[in-house]
Structure 1
Amino acid sequence: MDSQKLLFSFLCLPLLLILLKGLEAEGHLQREHKKLFVFGDSYVDSGNIRKGFANSWKVPYGTTFPGKPVGRFSDGRVFSDYIARYLGLKSPIPYRLRKLMPQHLKYGMNFAFGGTGVFDTFAKAPNMTTQIHLFQQLIQHKLYSPSDLTNSVALVSVAGNDYTHFAATNGSAQGFPSFIASVVNQTATNLLSIQKLGVKKIVVDGVQPLGCLPQSTTTSFFQQCNSTLNNLVVLHNNLLHQAVTKLNDKTKGQSTFIILDLFNSFMSVLDNPSTYNIKDPRKPCCVGVSSEYKCGSVGENNVQKYKVCDKPNTSFYWDLVHPSQAGWNAVYNKLQTTGALQQLRN
């Protein structure tokens, strides 16, 4: 009987070793699971901007998802949520909540703050350089390992807050082209900084058509895009393309820098709304009752000073600046037909 047990153990040992090795490999894969690190502004902020600093923490923001305001500048999901979905991840935790929800650190982290830019803006929040510095601190504290970073994706959003700030602080029309060049140069510097920290796949948004935002089309009753603004955006995106091409040449395949074309994705939806189940492509869903109020505003005695459309799920824009969840979903669906998104999974 003892000899039979010995023989059985001998025969089973290789199988046991194979199983153990498989489990070890599985654990290794889990430790090196792809993560998403997000930098930028309100187009990707999932809750970093603090209460009291923005209407994104007020009703009716968040009514579609998750059912209450949580800081997202939309009635529901924002762009970073869709990129996380594409990667098969839960949305990365906002930096502000990193100590409260440590179990979500495995999906990455969101450092984006609504209203910010690559330079300082009106927002009292970290600009992109500071956001990257916060990321660097976490790496120095070994919250993320080198293998975590190698297998991860960085998403960088530059949605135009720098330009809003420039225009509002007596920036001249003649000075815009050189300022655009400085924004793109700083963006390229930031992309390189993220790469030097160990992230090998970095994706940056091209700027969306600022001239088609409801705040730019109010004078035409949300019918006509501002071509002057859109021409400036085209300049930004052309310079960004040149800068990213140089970065890819410089790193010689060691890293991949990718541009997501938000300009043409937005225009595709705005020009062909029915294709994406959008019925109100240019009119915002949530607006103030007058020009002195905006979406989420309340007056004395908590009186509601905004109005919301009947069907947010068919509106492209949620407020004067931000897409609705349906709008972001439409943009995401358009981007899936391009090759840029597919590079994130390779």
Structure 2
Amino acid sequence: MGYVEAYVFMFFIATLSSFTIGDPQVPCYFIFGDSLYDNGNNNDLVTEAKVNFPPYGVDFPDGPTGRFSNGRNIADVIAELLGFENSIPPYATVSRKDIVRGVNYASGAAGIRDESGQHMGGRISLNQQIARHAIIILQLIDLIGKGSVAPVQEHLNKCIYTVAMGNNDFINNYFFPQYYNTSSLYTPEEYAEILVQQYSEQLSKLYEFGARKFAVSGAGYAGCAPAMMARYETNVCVDAVNYAVVQFNARLTAALVDLESKLPGAKFIYMEPPLGYSNDFNVTDQPCCKVSTTIGEGQCVPSQVPCNERQNYVFWDAFHPTESISLVDGAAVYAAMSPFYASSTKLSLPSEELLISDA
């Protein structure tokens, strides 16, 4: 199947979400990640990594929401296909009654390493995202456990966790020597080893908190992102960046197999990097919007009119995919996660009235 045919097929699958009827296929969905999954957690931070302004959201019903896209992002598509009526809310604005069905902790510029992206200002690293998840678990113990941990653990065991980190550890750390010294301290192989070791510890912490169903994405081949090509003053993919990413993804794949063998009841699915980070397709690979080269490198210049045929573009801005590509990526993740929901037994959730009365 060629790319065009595959795209049409995956787009059709994603479109089916508009007709989803009934309960979600799993009781809850938790999201950890960076700007590819962020849906508003950075809006109130002092940071260059936020996009709650037009033309972002030009194709999203609510307009600019903090999504690094013209419309839906990958997390939105996955949630729709899982049968959730609405997108999973960001931690920054989630209500008490909605935490039962999941929370989105993703943050633009965030990395596995705490310092990744710090030159851009505020962001919520993976360690901080996990700490926020611990706060949500305490609220769940009060809300549905009535002080007991066991019902909450049972609930969390059935949830899907997508974790998509590592991009900023390369584009906003290792390959930004003006701000970070990691490339002078480590070879790409050594850096990949260190990253994966820390990542494994973070995933293990989520396991301790009750996670069992993990879909973990590899880092994207950011050497093909327009912003990285511009940074290196070339019009072809930056091989050094993609080589380092390959080292990371290879080690991550092996680490997930090892974690699954060591953590009873855990299932890890490795997700291929997003299609949006490859320019090997018969679609336009230049940014759809006019991008900044200074503040918020690679992001859309505020209030500029974007391109018209956005469905034909891989990149919305110089780093992030258009909604069209997110439909493909999200549907691919959903299909790969089928072992998580095909045999899932849903937990009976508290009634809406109960959740509201306890709010």
1:104-132 Cα distance to aligned partner (Å, 9 max, x none): 33321111111111112214232111211
Whichever residue aligns with residue 161 of structure 2, its letter is: A
Residue 288 of structure 2 corresponds to 285
1:20-39 equivalence runs, <5 A: 34-39=27-32
Residue 106 of structure 2 corresponds to 112
Counterpart CA distance in 1 for 2:160 and 2:266 is 11
SS in 2 for 1:308: coil
Residue 166 of structure 1 corresponds to 174
SS in 2 for 1:46: coil
2:346 matches 1:344: no
2:84 matches 1:84: no
Whichever residue aligns with residue 122 of structure 2, its letter is: K
1:157-306 equivalence runs, <5 A: 157-163=164-170, 164-168=172-176, 169-172=180-183, 175-218=187-230, 224-252=236-264, 254-262=265-273, 265-266=275-276, 270-273=279-282, 279-280=283-284, 282-288=285-291, 291-292=293-294, 295-298=299-302, 306=304
Contact 1:214-1:222 within 8 A present in 2 as well: no
Counterpart CA distance in 1 for 2:89 and 2:319 is 24
Structure 1 pair 147–68 and aligned structure 2 pair: CA distance change class (3 A): same
Deviation at residue 230 of structure 1 after TM alignment:
1.0
Aligned residues: 298
Deviation at residue 217 of structure 1 after TM alignment:
2.6
Contact 2:41-2:66 within 8 A present in 1 as well: yes
Structure 1 pair 235–81 and aligned structure 2 pair: CA distance change class (3 A): same
Whichever residue aligns with residue 235 of structure 1, its letter is: Q
2:152 matches 1:156: no
SS in 1 for 2:200: helix
Residue 319 of structure 2 corresponds to 321
Counterpart CA distance in 2 for 1:327 and 1:190 is 28
Counterpart CA distance in 1 for 2:231 and 2:266 is 45
Deviation at residue 30 of structure 1 after TM alignment:
7.7
Identity between Structure 1 and Structure 2 (%):
26
Give TM-score, length-normalised by structure 1: 0.77
Residue 63 of structure 2 corresponds to 68
SS in 2 for 1:286: coil
More helix per residue: 1
Structure 1 pair 333–176 and aligned structure 2 pair: CA distance change class (3 A): same
Contact 1:116-1:128 within 8 A present in 2 as well: yes
For structure 1, which segment, 42-51 or 103-112, has the greater mean C-alpha deviation from structure 2 after superposition? 103-112
Higher CA-based Rg: 1
Residue 96 of structure 1 corresponds to 92
Whichever residue aligns with residue 113 of structure 1, its letter is: S
Counterpart CA distance in 2 for 1:92 and 1:137 is 17
Counterpart CA distance in 2 for 1:75 and 1:249 is 40
Residue 36 of structure 2 corresponds to 43
Counterpart CA distance in 1 for 2:318 and 2:300 is 12
5+ long unaligned stretches in structure 1 = 1-28, 274-278, 299-303
Counterpart CA distance in 1 for 2:83 and 2:25 is 14
Contact 2:58-2:70 within 8 A present in 1 as well: yes
Deviation at residue 165 of structure 1 after TM alignment:
1.8
Contact 2:55-2:305 within 8 A present in 1 as well: no
Give TM-score, length-normalised by structure 2: 0.75
Choose the corresponding residue for 1:133, options 131, 134, 147: 131
Counterpart CA distance in 1 for 2:175 and 2:59 is 33
For structure 1, which segment, 68-77 or 162-171, has the greater mean C-alpha deviation from structure 2 after superposition? 162-171
SS in 2 for 1:343: helix
5+ long unaligned stretches in structure 2 = 1-21, 145-151, 343-359
For structure 1, which segment, 31-40 or 57-66, has the greater mean C-alpha deviation from structure 2 after superposition? 31-40
Counterpart CA distance in 2 for 1:247 and 1:258 is 11
Structure 1 pair 157–48 and aligned structure 2 pair: CA distance change class (3 A): same
SS in 1 for 2:241: helix
Counterpart CA distance in 1 for 2:220 and 2:155 is 31
Deviation at residue 336 of structure 1 after TM alignment:
5.7
Counterpart CA distance in 1 for 2:307 and 2:229 is 18
Residue 13 of structure 1 corresponds to none
SS in 2 for 1:184: helix
SS in 1 for 2:43: coil
